[in-house]
Amino acid sequence: MIDAVNLRVVVVDDHTVMRAGVVALLAPEPGLEVVGEADDGRSGVALVEELRPDVALLDLRMPGLDGVAATERIVAGPSRTRVLILTTYDTDSEIERAVEAGAVGYLLKDTTREQLVDAIRSAARGETVLAPRVAQKLVAKLRRPTQTALTAREVDVLTAVADGLSNPDIAKRLVIGEATVKTHLLRIFAKLDVSDRTRAVVVALERGVL
């Protein structure tokens, strides 16, 4: 389990003012330490490989190596760093690309400090984190009349969530990849019209799914 009082974070954003703002927001938070900053994806990947932080906050569109490509390299690399996208872009294609690359979360830059801190802690535990507007977009895209019922595998995943398992633990229990777990969770969120794991379990219990 990630120690909640010792989370190390790297911030990667090509906009100096934005990067400095994120660092300043996190600085007073007990138990969070920004251990490095980078201004492009390639430098960010190198920094993660060197420092191996718990969470990397990545912008999406950066010169040279964008956030999606950087995410893929970080996830495929030797560190166990979780990637949390923090961006201004909320198009369906951007969201899907980031999640498929291995990001555990997708936040928008209008998020509050409290939401950002909570998201970092959740991401460090391997939990899927979505900005409410992002979740709404996924609902609109994925929820269809024929898709409202959870599949057997989605019920398996949600049952594991209810048991308190993290994404890596769910992957081990069900013998699937972590990326597949995240995909199932996104579809579960969309079908249940929720934006987080806790609410998904609550709604599923209310509907008799679990």
> What CA–CA distances, in Å, run from 23 to 9, 85, 177?
9, 15, 32
- Tokens linked to 137: 């977009």
**Residue 9 bridge partners (DSSP):** 34, 55
pTM greater than 0.85: no
Angle at 58 between CA 123 and CA 18, to 5 degrees: 115
Rounded to whole angstroms, the Cα distance separating 77 from 186 reads 24
Torsion-angle region of 92 (φ positive above 0: left; ψ -120 to 50: alpha; else: beta): alpha
- Tokens linked to 114: 């409290």
- Tokens linked to 19: 């990067």
Domain 7-131 has CATH 3.40.50.2300: yes
pLDDT band at 139 (very low <50, low <70, confident <90, very high): low
In terms of pLDDT, which residue wins out, 3 or 24?
Answer: 24
Burial of 17 (0-12, 13-18, 19+ CB in 10 A): exposed
Burial of 110 (0-12, 13-18, 19+ CB in 10 A): exposed
Tell me if residue 57 falls in helix, strand or coil: strand
Parts of the chain belonging to CATH 3.40.50.2300 = 7-131
In terms of pLDDT, which residue wins out, 98 or 12?
Answer: 12
Tell me if residue 100 falls in helix, strand or coil: helix
pLDDT digit string, tens, across residues 4-59: 458 999 999 999 999 999 999 999 999 999 999 999 999 999 999 999 999 999 99
Classify domain 143-206 at the CATH topology level: Arc Repressor Mutant, subunit A (1.10.10)
Parts of the chain belonging to CATH 1.10.10.10 = 143-206
